[in-house]
Amino acid sequence: MVFVLLAFAAFFVVPIMFVLLCISPEKNMPFLVRSKDEKQIGFWQRQFQSESTLKQQIFDWMFGIVFPVVCFAFDPIVFNGNKPTILSEYKPFAYLLSFASIIALLGFLLLNKRLKWLNGFLSGFFALGGTISLIVGIRIFPYSLVGLIILIGALGFTPLFSAFVYWRNAVRAYKYAQSVLGKQTLIYSAILSVLFGFVTPYLVNVKIQQDLKEIENGNIPTIQKKTDELSIFSPILNPVNIWEASFHEEMYSPRKKALRDSYKALSGDKPEGWD
C-alpha cells in the first residue's frame, strides 16, 4: 500500500501541484507565496522562518519528493545492484523510512499549519529523515563525485540537499506546533516520533536480514518457508546474496534450484547465467 501511495504522489500529485505552482502560484496556491515584507529578511534567516517563500517551496518539492523518488528508481550502486552494493543490507530500513518521510513531507507541504498538533510528531520525524539523508549523502559522496563523469552521478548529491529540506521543514513543523502544544509536550512528541521512526524500520531490517541469512544457509523447506514469508517485502529487498550462494552448490542440485527460485521470487529478476 505504501508503494501505491508513493507512486501516486510521485507521478500524479507532485507534477500537477508543481505545474499549478509554476503557472499561477498566487491564484492556485496563495498560501505558498511569501509576503512583500519577507523580502527584507536575510537569506539564512529566511531559510528557517515560519512562512516559506515560493522558491523554497519549489526546492522542497523537488529535493524532498521528486528527486528522491527518481534516485530510488535509477539507483545502480547504493541499495540495488546485481552484486552486494554500498548499502544493500540497509535497503529495507532506508526504503521504509524514506517512503514514510516522503509521504509525510507531501502532506506537510500541502497542509502545513492545518496539521496543528500533528506537526509536533512531524518535526521529530523530519529531523530523523534529514539526519539519515545526511549520513547516506556523506557515505556515497566519493561515488557521486566519480559518477559526475557520466552525469547521472549528480543524483548522488540528492541526499545532501534532501537533508537540508527535511531539517528546514522540521524547524517549521516545530514552530507551527508551538502554538498548539505546550513546550514539554512538543519536545516529548518530537522525541517519540524520532524513536518510533528509527526503531520500527530498524527492527524490520534486522528481521529481514536474519530471514535472508536463513535462506542462504538453510535446507530446502527453510528456503521455501522464508521465501514465502519475505515475499510481501520483495519491493524493498536486495536478495543478491541468495543468488551468489547458489554458485556454491553443485550443478543441478535441488538446493541450488531452491536458492535460485527464491532469488527470482524475491527480486523478480532472472539474471544472466541463470541456467
Q: Do 67 and 158 form a contact (C-beta atoms < 8 A)?
A: yes
pLDDT attached to residue 135: 92
**If you write DSSP's letter for every residue of 162-204 in order, what string do you get?**
HHHHHHHHHHHHHHHHHTTS-HHHHHHHHHHHHHHHHHHHHHH
Name which residue leads in pLDDT, 165 or 24: 165
Q: Is the pLDDT of residue 7 over 50?
A: no
Residue 8 pLDDT > 60:
no
185-209 residue pLDDT tens:
889 889 999 999 999 999 999 999 9
pLDDT > 90? residue 134: yes
Which residue, chain included where needed, has cell 524514506?
Answer: 98
239, containing H or E segment:
none
* pTM for this entry: 0.76
What is the per-residue pLDDT across 250-271, written as a single tens digit (0 to 9) for each?
A: 777 888 888 888 888 888 776 5
Task: Assign 152 a pLDDT band (cuts: 50, 70, 90).
Answer: low
The total of other beta-carbon atoms located within 10 Å of residue 203's CB is 11
Which of 60 and 2 is assigned the larger pLDDT? Answer: 60
The domain spans of the chain are: 7-28+52-217, 219-270
Tens-digit pLDDT profile for residues 221-243? 888 888 888 888 888 888 888 87
Q: Please state, as a whole number, how many other Cβ atoms lie within 10 Å of the Cβ of residue 268.
A: 9
12 or 231, which is more confident:
231
pLDDT above 80 for 86: no
Return the SS3 of 238: coil
Q: How many whole angstroms separate alpha carbon 35 and alpha carbon 62? A: 22
pLDDT of residue 10: 46
pLDDT band at 2 (very low <50, low <70, confident <90, very high): very low
Q: What is the mean pLDDT of residues 126-143?
A: 90
Percent with pLDDT over 90 in the chain? 22
